[in-house]
């Protein structure tokens, strides 16, 4: 079992700036950490499997959102993951509208900030469908090879290929090729079987039949046999999960599907074959269902929709509360203090940070870090 260190959850640092954080880290004698290297990221996944907890994986589309997640991980001394979808990365490139450039830019920002923090924050990409592989994942892999040749650290710990729209054989044919490229670089490939319902980032599965929302044990065995000889991978096996947030009763999760699939893999290939799984569509899921999946091998849960709402809600409140200040109404000049973007973005980041901390607590990773272990 990989040894892990559980830090007490305290407010050792606040949001007043780097000097405060640095002083606090020194007082606590906690070393600062960069984005993890390949070996460390694998240790993080191993520790999750061994300890029945998972890392919160937070989707972002800007440095402001990334800062909210970084603050949550740092202040609670919790290892975590920040990830970028194709749409989020494209947004991050501004007027260029280049998903690769946006991914690189936000990842660079995370590397710089994370290097001053006392926890590991990994960086991955999210849902890349087959039509975008050559526009997103493969250029990022080429960038990784270039950085490796120059002796620079890799920007990303993992990439996701979402081939769930394809028949399994075609899905795995593309996945195996990407897995070989990733393995050469020490990057973890995430794949998906079955379909996550709902809509996210331009991927609309709202009309998908219910039978496709559930991965079969046979699918999980096929994924293991195709990818395990190549290198490290994670599997987003679907068990009725849906992107977005729905009213109670509208989504029927069956976490035991993960158990049954893992049992089939282990029965055929032994206990060491238990796969690290990823939970997509985690926003709005009841706590007992989240925690049930941890025992079945979930090591990473994506949280996007709830974080989007948490980020936006205080901005709306700020505008409604300070209507005459944020707008120049009836020829008046407004109030610069209320329309200064920092005044409401600080509130947005604080709210999103609280939602990230909630996710860490629900996943039983709050205060858990391999820093110093």
Structure tokens at 211: 């039978």
- Burial grade of 315 (CB within 10 A; 0-12, 13-18, 19 or more): middle
Q: What is the pLDDT of residue 5?
A: 55
The domain segmentation of the chain, as residue ranges, is: 5-369
Residues β-bridged to residue 298: 277
- For the question of residue 126 being annotated catalytic, the response is yes
* pTM score, whole prediction: 0.87
Q: What is the pLDDT of residue 285?
A: 79
**pLDDT tens per residue across span 169-205:** 999 999 999 999 999 999 999 999 875 544 444 444 4
Higher pLDDT residue, 343 or 28?
Answer: 343
- Rounded CA separation 93/112 (Å): 18
**pLDDT tens per residue across span 132-152:** 999 999 999 999 999 999 999
Q: Mean of the per-residue pLDDT values for the chain?
A: 87
- Rounded CA separation 356/69 (Å): 6
* Pairing verdict, β 198-200 and 203-205: antiparallel
> What is the CA 30 to chain-centroid distance, rounded?
24
CATH superfamily of 5-369: Aldolase class I (3.20.20.70)
**Does the pLDDT value for residue 93 go beyond 50?**
yes
The shares of helix, strand and coil residues in the chain, as percent rounded to the nearest 5, are 50, 15, 35
**pLDDT tens per residue across span 215-227:** 999 999 999 999 9
Nearest residue to 281 via CA among 164, 138, 117: 164
Higher pLDDT residue, 312 or 372?
Answer: 312
Catalytic residue from among 37, 52, 79, 126? 126
**pLDDT > 70 fraction of the chain, expressed in percent and rounded:** 83
**Does the pLDDT value for residue 16 go beyond 50?**
no
- Rounded CA separation 329/336 (Å): 13
Q: Give the E-state strand segments of 207-347 in sequence order.
A: 233-237, 277-279, 298-303
**pLDDT tens per residue across span 259-316:** 999 999 999 999 999 999 999 876 677 899 999 999 999 999 999 999 999 999 999 9
- Rounded CA separation 273/264 (Å): 10
């Amino acid at each position: 079992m990989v040894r892990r260190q559980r830090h007490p959850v305290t407010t050792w640092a606040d949001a007043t700036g780097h000097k405060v954080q640095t002083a606090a880290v020194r007082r606590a004698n906690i070393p600062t950490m960069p984005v993890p290297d390949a070996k460390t990221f694998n240790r993080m996944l191993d520790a999750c499997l061994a300890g029945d907890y998972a890392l919160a994986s937070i989707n972002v589309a800007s440095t402001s959102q990334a800062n909210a997640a970084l603050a949550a991980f740092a202040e609670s001394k919790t290892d975590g993951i920040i990830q970028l979808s194709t749409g989020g990365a494209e947004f991050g490139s501004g007027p260029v509208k280049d998903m690769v450039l946006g991914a690189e830019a936000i990842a660079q920002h995370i590397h710089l900030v994370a290097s001053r923090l006392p926890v590991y924050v990994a960086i991955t990409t999210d849902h890349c469908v087959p039509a975008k592989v050559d526009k997103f994942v493969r250029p990022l892999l080429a960038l990784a090879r270039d950085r490796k040749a120059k002796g620079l650290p890799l920007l990303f710990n993992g990439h996701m290929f979402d081939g769930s729209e394809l028949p399994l054989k075609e899905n795995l044919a593309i996945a195996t090729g990407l897995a070989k490229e990733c393995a050469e670089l020490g990057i973890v490939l995430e794949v998906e079987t079955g379909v996550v319902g709902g809509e996210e980032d331009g991927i609309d599965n709202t009309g998908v039949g219910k039978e496709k929302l559930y991965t079969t044990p046979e699918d999980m065995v096929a994924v293991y046999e195709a990818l395990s000889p190549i290198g490290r991978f994670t599997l987003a096996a679907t068990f009725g999960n849906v992107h977005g947030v729905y009213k109670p009763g509208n989504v029927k999760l069956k976490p035991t599907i993960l158990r049954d699939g893992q049992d089939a893999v282990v029965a055929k290939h032994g206990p060491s074959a238990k796969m690290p799984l990823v939970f997509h569509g985690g926003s709005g899921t009841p706590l007992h269902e989240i925690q049930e999946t941890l025992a079945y091998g979930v090591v990473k849960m994506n949280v996007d929709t709830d974080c989007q709402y948490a980020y936006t809600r205080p901005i709306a409140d700020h505008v409604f509360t300070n209507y005459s200040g944020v707008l120049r109404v009836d020829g008046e000049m407004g109030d610069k203090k209320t329309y200064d973007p920092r005044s409401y973005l600080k509130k947005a980041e604080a709210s999103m940070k609280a939602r990230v901390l909630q996710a860490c607590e629900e996943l039983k990773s709050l205060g858990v870090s391999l820093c110093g272990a």
